[in-house]
A and B are shown apart, each in its own frame.
Chain A
C-alpha cells in the first residue's frame, strides 16, 4: 500500500509503461515518460537547492508539464503549491512570500509578469517554454535541459506519510488567502477511499475539469495514476463551450467526470446531451456547491445509464461525506443530502449545547476527524488554532478535529443535510469566497468609506456577488473603476458583478453594517451595474 503519492506513479509506470498517463492540449505522455521526466526534474530541483519540505510553486496554464511537475516536486521531497494562472499577480506574489517559495516552475510570460522584488526572491526557476533571459541572482533553466538528468530513478529522499505533499490556498476572510497544508497521508486517505468506492481501473478515462489548485483535481490526477488510467486535462478552450465539451467527453471516451455542479448545469442546458453518444460515461461526481434539484433531476433523466454522487468536504479535509444519488427517490426529494462519512473518516454535528447530534431533525456544526484532516494553515497558528481544534469528545488521547463552519441537520434517512454557514463564506461556481476578502479589497480603495459584499442566490452558479459601497465626502467613483481596482487584488470570480452606492450603509443596533437588510433589499431589487 502506498504511503507517499509518488509510489502510485512508480507502481503504474512499472505495470503500464506505454499507456497514456496524461493528455492535455492535443499532447500526451506515457507513464514511462511521466516517470522519467519527473525524475529528471526532481534531480534538477535537488541540484539547485530544493530540500525536503521546501515549497515549490507551479505557475502556468494546465498542460502535461503540470502533472510532471507535481510528481517531480514530490520526488524531490518538496511541497508543491499550485498557483492559479488566472489570479492577479499581486495575489501570486503574496502567496510566494507567504509560504517562502524559492523555486518556481513557470513559463516566461508568467515569470515576466511578476514584480521585480518577487522575481529577485526566487533562487531557481524552471521555464516550461524555452525562453531563458537570465535574472540577477536567480538561476533560470529551460525545460530542455532536463534531459541531462537521470530519468531512471528518483532522488533518494526519506519521506513519511505525515510529510507535506502540497499546499492549497483558499479565500481568507481577513483579506488574504490562506494556505491549507496537506500531507501525503491526507491525500492518500482520500485517494484510497475513491479507488475503493468508485473502482477506477486502467480502462477508465478521467477528465480533469477543476483547476489544479482546487482539490477536486486530486482525484482526477492521483486516482487516474493509481489505477493506470488516463487523465484528460480540460482547458478553457474546451470547458467554456458546452457543445465542444460534450464532444470532448464523447470523443475521448471519458468514463468518470468530476466537477462543480454549475459545469454540469451548463452542459445540460446548452450541449444537447445524448446518452447514446456518452455511453462510455459511467460515473458523474460533483462537489463544491449545492446542485439545484431541478437540474440534477433533469441530468439524471437525460443520462440514465450512469451513477451520480454528491461529494462534500472543504479543502481542509478533502471529501469527508458522500451521497450516492438514489434515482428512485430523486423526483420526490427537494433537498440533496451531503450524505454519510467516507470510510476512514468520522464526522459529527455539534449543537449549540456542545452535544453531539444523534437525533434526526437536530442540527449542529459539522466537525471532521481522521487521517484526512489538515494539520492547519501555513504560517497562521492563530487561524489554525481556531479551526483545527482539540477533539474534546475524545477522552483517551489527544487528537485534532476540523470545524467546518457548515451547519447540518441529521435526516431521518441517516444522511446529513447542509443547511447553512456559520459565517460569511459563500460559494459561487464552486469557488470558495469569503465575503470579507472582497470587502477588504474594496475598502483599500481611497474613495471607499464603507463596503459590504452580498451574495445574490442564483439558479446556476449558486451565488452572484454584489457590493454596496459608500464613499468619502460623496466622492463619485464609477463601478467599473472599483471593479478594475479589485481586479488587481482578488481573483476574477470574486469581483462584484453589481455595485450599488448608498450615502451610508444601514447599521444594526450594535453599529455593525446590517448585511441581512442589504441582502434582503438586494434580492428584491436587482439592478445591473
Chain B
C-alpha cells in the first residue's frame, strides 16, 4: 500500500465518525458510540439517517453506492461503513 492509500485509510473512519456524531447522533441525543455497535439499535440512524449517510459517503469519498448496497450489513456500524468505503476506494 503506498503512502497515499495509507493516509486515505486513516482519514476514512475519522471522517465517517465525525459526520455520524455531528449530524446524526447529536440530533438523537446520543453522545457516544463505539465502532462496532449497531447504530440502528441505538437509534442513531433512522430511516432518513440512512440516506444522509449515503449522500455523505458519495459526496465525501467520491464513490457510488447502489440502492442494493444500502443494507444493514454495510451501514450497521462505523466499522461496516468504513469497510464499505475502503472496498470501493480500492477499485
Q: Which residues of A contact B (CB under 8 A)?
A: 86, 88, 236-244, 262-263, 266, 270-272, 429, 460-461, 479-480, 483-488, 492-493, 495-497, 529
B26 touches A480 (CB 8 A): yes
Interface residues on chain B, size class: 20 to 34
Q: Which residues of B contact A (CB under 8 A)?
A: 22, 26-31, 40-41, 43, 45-48, 50-51, 67-68, 70-72, 75-76
B29 touches A240 (CB 8 A): no
B67 touches A242 (CB 8 A): yes
Known A483-B28, A484-B31, A487-B30; contact A241-B70, beta-carbon cutoff 8 A: yes
**C-alpha spacing A262/B46, complex, angstroms:** 12
A237 touches B47 (CB 8 A): no
Beyond A240-B45, A243-B71, A495-B27, 9 additional pairs, beta carbon < 8 A: A86-B43, A243-B67, A263-B47, A461-B48, A485-B29, A492-B28, A492-B29, A493-B46, A496-B27
**Which B residues touch A461, using CB under 8 A?**
48
A241 touches B71 (CB 8 A): yes
B71 touches A484 (CB 8 A): no
B27 touches A529 (CB 8 A): yes
Give min CB distance, A480 to chain B, whole Å: 4
A270 touches B29 (CB 8 A): no
**Which A residues touch B28, using CB under 8 A?**
483, 487, 492, 495
From the candidates B41, B43, B72, name the one contacting A244 in the complex (CB within 8 A).
B72
Residue of A nearest to B48 (CB): A461
21 contacts between A and B (CB under 8 A): A236-B40, A237-B72, A237-B76, A239-B47, A240-B40, A240-B45, A241-B72, A241-B75, A242-B67, A242-B70, A243-B70, A244-B70, A244-B71, A272-B67, A429-B47, A479-B26, A484-B31, A492-B43, A495-B27, A495-B28, A497-B27
A262 touches B47 (CB 8 A): yes
From the candidates B46, B72, B76, name the one contacting A492 in the complex (CB within 8 A).
B46
A483 touches B27 (CB 8 A): yes
A495 touches B48 (CB 8 A): no
